[in-house]
Structure 1
Amino acid sequence: MRRVFDLPSESDKKCPQCERLLPITEFHRNRRRADGLAYYCKICAAARSEASRRKRGIGPQKKASTPVPAGLKWCPDCDQIKPLEDFPRTKKASGRHSYCKPCHNRRDRETAQRLYGGTREYHLRRRYGIGEKEFQELLAEQGGVCAVCAAPDPEHVDHDHRTGWVRGILCFNCNGGLGQFRDSPVRLARAITYLRGTTWQRVLIHPGVYQMCSPTRGRPPSQRS
């Protein structure tokens, strides 16, 4: 009698730890691997992760005390079940962060305080590549005023959006103005031309009668005006 052996199919994979031949649905996705699947099955991967946490002195992973209904998510920090919209979005497979927005923000502040001494230092380092020390040095080189309008105590870092290089320290209005003009010298030059040459004026054309005129549009202003 011929013996029939179970041959592995393309939908199966062997876990090197438990040595079981399992369906690929029992493996997490991993785009960095050739087969697109994790090296270990889900059960073994969870056990290895838990063992690693114990070795590093990290406490047991928290779990919800009650089942989480579909469309909701449990936050390990505040131990509350909330709608998915209450969790920040992420590019991970789940689409949402592990912690709800208030807990996520609190953790961010604590991390910034621990690593950088405050959220401002973290913000400057992360976005512009400089710290508060470099900010103050650059501001001192400008004489403590806005690099454009010379207003005192500017607080906004201006940078080239194409290269990311820091250009100077500006006040709120000048920094926003450059952004509105898209950092374009051409647009700024046209704005200067507009302000100098097409400003409308109220011109007296008859006693008690005025007309809005421009030096380059419509009726030129009277010489007596």
Structure 2
Amino acid sequence: MGGVVKEKVEVPAGWKLCRQGGEVKRHSEWHKNATASDGLSTRCKACRAIQGRAGHLKRSHGITEEERDLMIAAQGGLCGICQEAPAEHVDHDHQTGKVRGVLCFSCNAALGQFKDRPDVIRRAAAYVEGNLWNPTLVAQGVYRQPS
């Protein structure tokens, strides 16, 4: 009927055991917590960061780290757009919230700058390919720009 008894671990002064990570670390590796008896957080900074990333993925995108890792593996570890840089940033449709894939920082930022608008992205591609600067002669003196 009693609670779980934690194993007693000898820890030198200035150090603390992180029960989540199982490591003894210096006090500098912990966030301060004024309400705790020792004045330190219950988890070390590294464990808090890992848990924070996992929580962010679940709250923001509704996926787990494992699901993200499977998406990255399915993309060969590379960005879903440029297929050169490592896939590190989960991309999602801002209208529906649906996750589309995992991109590199640059491609993810580019989509954001284009406001996820396919028409603008197509015009940008045409511009880069030089198509916008090659008007078609329709009639004498009348030119049509590619759309």
Identify whether the pair has TM-score above 0.5, normalized to the shorter chain.
yes
Shift of 1:177: 0.3
More strand by percentage: 2
Count the aligned residue pairs: 96
- Structure 1 distance, partners of 2:85, 2:50, is 26
1:55-86 deviations in whole A, cap 9, x for unaligned?
Answer: xxxxxxxxxxxxxxxxxxxxxx659xxxxxxx
Shift of 1:130: 0.7
- In the alignment, structure 1 segments of 5+ residues that lack a partner are 1-76, 80-105, 200-213, 217-225
1:13-55 deviations in whole A, cap 9, x for unaligned?
Answer: xxxxxxxxxxxxxxxxxxxxxxxxxxxxxxxxxxxxxxxxxxx
More contact order relative to length (CA 8 Å, sep ≥ 6): 2
Which residue of structure 1 lines up, in the alignment, with residue 62 of structure 2?
129
In structure 2, give the amino acid aligned to 1:180.
Q
**How high is the TM-score relative to the length of structure 1?**
0.38
**How high is the TM-score relative to the length of structure 2?**
0.56
- Structure 1 distance, partners of 2:85, 2:129, is 27
Does residue 115 of structure 2 align to residue 192 of structure 1?
Answer: no
What is the identity percentage for the equivalent residue pairs of Structure 1 and Structure 2?
A: 43
Which residue of structure 2 lines up, in the alignment, with residue 141 of structure 1?
74
- In the alignment, structure 2 segments of 5+ residues that lack a partner are 1-32, 36-40, 136-147
Which residue of structure 1 lines up, in the alignment, with residue 104 of structure 2?
171
Which structure: larger Rg? 1
Equivalent runs, 1:1-225 vs 2, <5 Å: 78=34, 113=48, 118-197=51-130, 215-216=134-135
In structure 2, give the amino acid aligned to 1:157.
V
In structure 2, give the amino acid aligned to 1:171.
C
Shift of 1:174: 0.2
Shift of 1:123: 1.0
> Matched residue of 2:56: which SS?
helix
- Cα RMSD (Å): 2.9
